[in-house]
Amino acid sequence: MNTIIESLNWRYATKQYDASKKISDQDLETLLEATRLSVSSYGLQPYKIINVQNPKLREELKAVAWNQTQITDASQLLVFAVEKNLGDKQIDAYMQNISETRGIPVENLDGFKGMIHNAIDGLEEHTKQEWAKKQAYIALSTLITTAALLKIDATPMEGFDAQAFDRILDLDAHGLATAVIAVIGYRHEEDAAQHYKKVRKSNQDLFINL
């Protein structure tokens, strides 16, 4: 069986993590690098990813996430936070990054810069936020898939109070807002959900050929 298909069949939304098992530094580096390289519209990446390692913070966050034990038991907790007031600051920084990475004058990018501005500047703030969240979710998907390939468990989570996360992590001071979170680690042997058969639509129900 194709490795990617086998890995995606193996993964599931892990409910119970083994708190005694930690991800190696090498595997964590691979997961974060894969997420960094994820697809993003224009390549702008209008989000930050916060690796919450402080046990006290994780206990506080669990309390505003329906006390879900994954928050504290998983090896890592990653918070995907989108940038607020998306505009000149982020776009200028991106142009500078392209200029330095590719060794080209930044003024040569004026056309590309203008195209991004035309797409974003006219949007209302909540629309910009929703667009940025979509980009964060794409990165989240890359993380989940890469974890499956490494046989590392991962659970994307939306069951939490986003405003409380922002407050606990002081994200407003950094111009950020929580979009979605993910925990990664290793399933507990007593997690019954690992034995459930995966349920997905059939090819006939999912795909339309025109």
Distance CA 93, CA 42 (A): 13
Which two structure tokens, joined as six digits, stand for 7?
A: 């890995």
Per the listing, tokens 């936070």 go with 81
Which two structure tokens, joined as six digits, stand for 168?
A: 């606990």
Task: Calculate the CA 7 to chain-centre distance.
Answer: 19
pLDDT, one tens digit per residue, over 58-67 is: 999 999 999 9
Average pLDDT, the chain: 97
Q: What angle, 0 to 180 degrees and rounded to 10, lies between the N-to-C axes of helices 88-102 and 110-120? A: 150
pLDDT, one tens digit per residue, over 161-180 is: 999 999 999 999 999 999 99
Q: What is the pLDDT of residue 2?
A: 75
Distance CA 132, CA 120 (A): 11
- One of 1.10.2020.10, 3.10.20.590, 3.20.20.70, 3.40.109.10 is the CATH number of 26-85+126-190, namely 3.40.109.10
If one counts every other C-beta atom within 10 angstroms of the C-beta of residue 102, the result is 9
Query: Taking the alpha carbons of 167, 73, 145, 149 in that order, is the dihedral positive or negative?
Result: positive
Q: Taking the model in full, what pTM does it have?
A: 0.96
Instruction: Point out which residues pair with 47 in neighbouring strands.
Output: 82
Q: Where are the domains of the chain?
A: 26-85+126-190
Q: What is the mean pLDDT of residues 28-48?
A: 98
